Amino acid sequence: MPVKAETSTHFIDELHIISPWAFFLAILPYIAAIAAIVFASLSGKPPMSLPAMVAVGILGGTVLACYILLIGYVNSDAGRRGMSRLAWTLLAILIPNALGIVLYFVLRKPRIATCPQCCAPLEPGFGFCPRCRYRLNPTCPKCQRSVHTGDKFCPYCGGDLGAGVNEVVDSAASPAKSSGS
């Protein structure tokens, strides 16, 4: 589906962090539904017609599968946000009506940024990677503090940034820089 790819890229990226075991577990409700339908049909006295049972099976299986995938997402996502994976996975499973999952999305911390070069964890405001010295933000040539791209003067020491400001090396920050000439 190349047409939808553009808008769903972010969602697909998020799906990739769910571990394979969650996808495997998400298949189980469907298998259980098929088994229940077969069992009910073979028993000779099905509680409802076959199309109704298939509809209930698909609906129930999908709801359970989504629930399992969400728990898998919480399990993986908590790790990259520096939160306890075990605690949040247990809360997501144990608190009924998916309230644990809702609670997780309300309380989750912002994602920890990582160095594009060595993947070391970074804190907001860092100008350089503490591990490999990769330059993360443009810095004032006078006082070496982080400044914003496009600033003309340093907000800390008043130094003229003019042509001296170090450009951001991070390619993600300016992927489509149009030449204005």
Nearest approach, Cβ of 155 to Zn ion (angstroms)?
A: 8
Under the binding rule (CB under 5 A), the answer on residue 117 touching Zn ion is: yes
Provide φ and ψ at 105, rounded to 5°. Answer: -70, -25
Segment near Zn ion (CB under 5 A), from 34-42, 94-102, 141-149, 166-174?
141-149
Instruction: Output the smallest distance, CB 79 to Zn ion, in A.
Output: 20
Reference 147, options 134, 172, 133, 164; nearest CA is 164
Instruction: List CB contacts of 124: < 8 A, sequence separation 6 or more.
Output: 113
Question: Which residue of 28, 66, 143, 173 would you call a contact of Zn ion, by CB under 5 A?
Answer: 143
- CA dihedral sign of residues 60, 72, 77, 172: negative
Count other Cβ atoms within 10 Å, centred on residue 71: 23
Smallest separation, CB 167 to Zn ion (Å) = 16
Q: Does 101 bind Zn ion (CB under 5 A)?
A: no
Q: How many residues bind Zn ion (CB under 5 A)?
A: 15
